[in-house]
Amino acid sequence: MSTNKNTGVRNHNTNMAPAVAGSGVTVNPSAVEPPVAPSGASPGASSGASPGVAASTALASFGLAFKPIFDALAPSISRPPPGVKVTIVHAAYETVASQVAALARRHPELALAGDPGIIEADLATLAAARSVSTRLNVAQREVDDTGRMAFAAGYEIVHAIVHRAEALAKDDKTLAEELAAIRAPLRKGPNTTAAERVAAAAARTATRTQSRAAKAQQKAAAASQAATATAAAHAARHPAVPDVVIVPAGSTPNGTPPKG
């Protein structure tokens, strides 16, 4: 197995059949069909397998070899019932379990409460499962990284082809339409025409204008009501006082002397 210095993707030797130690399971790589090159490939392209084809073939072969191994392990796999959560096993509890099993071995009378052999077997299962889980987690990260890096390398070619297509699409309407359809999934926002976007923008502007007008009317009405209430409160606190007319002694209210 070697590593491509440019892409960092590992290249596997597909002439060797993958196998898992102790499993007795091997897979003939020729039974796994490699990815087919796209139609219309350049006649000048190299006829040898590219690093990407070699990696995909090796991964497909590993997948075929791994499946029967995991299928054979399936009867020994245990999962908690729905809704039941399995907590992490802390080292302190492992130590206690091991010591209790040893204690029951030294004092056979304690074995009446439980078989220490079961404790020891379950501890061994925990250790083996933890070891396999760690290796699978590492393998998963490595496989995921391999796929992502392969895609990144391939997408550099995508950029180059799209750049070339954009240059040619200026004089080729059909190519421009095909390129627009390909790039449509990458467009942000709803997929609408220019006329639809203009109409939607106009509708939003009209809605905002109506909203501002309604708010202005509400403010004016509230101000008028407040002014009316203020005037009424002032009138209630300061009632109107009638005019007082001072009449000289011996005169009528209109100021003329009374008649004899």
Question: Considering the entire predicted model, what is its pTM?
Answer: 0.47
Q: What is the pLDDT of residue 247?
A: 58
Q: What is the pLDDT of residue 237?
A: 76
Higher-pLDDT residue of 46, 53: 53
Instruction: Give the angle 91-95-100 at the CA atoms, nearest 5°.
Output: 150
Query: In whole angstroms, how large is the CA radius of gyration of the chain?
Result: 45
10: β partners: 3
In this structure, of 33-42, 128-137, 150-159, the range with the lowest mean pLDDT score is 33-42
Among residues 129, 56, 141, the alpha carbon closest in space to that of 88 is found at: 129
Question: Is the pLDDT assigned to residue 10 strictly greater than 90?
Answer: no
**Ranges 80-94, 95-109, 172-186, 206-220, most confident:** 95-109
Alpha carbon distance 111, 107 (integer Å)? 7
Q: What is the pLDDT of residue 200?
A: 79
Q: What is the pLDDT of residue 113?
A: 93
Q: Does residue 86 sit in helix, strand or coil?
A: coil
135-168: per-residue pLDDT in tens?
Answer: 999 999 999 999 999 999 999 999 999 999 999 9
Question: Is the pLDDT assigned to residue 40 strictly greater than 60?
Answer: no
Q: What is the pLDDT of residue 146?
A: 92
Mean pLDDT over residues 86-107, rounded? 92
Distances in whole angstroms, Cα of residue 222 to Cα of each of 35, 139, 226: 74, 70, 6
60-79: per-residue pLDDT in tens?
Answer: 998 899 889 889 988 988 88
Helices marked H in the chain: 51-73, 91-106, 116-169, 173-183, 194-237
Q: What is the pLDDT of residue 235?
A: 75
Alpha carbon distance 60, 35 (integer Å)? 10
Q: What is the pLDDT of residue 89?
A: 87
Q: What is the pLDDT of residue 165?
A: 93
Distances in whole angstroms, Cα of residue 76 to Cα of each of 81, 96, 129, 208, 223: 16, 25, 11, 65, 79
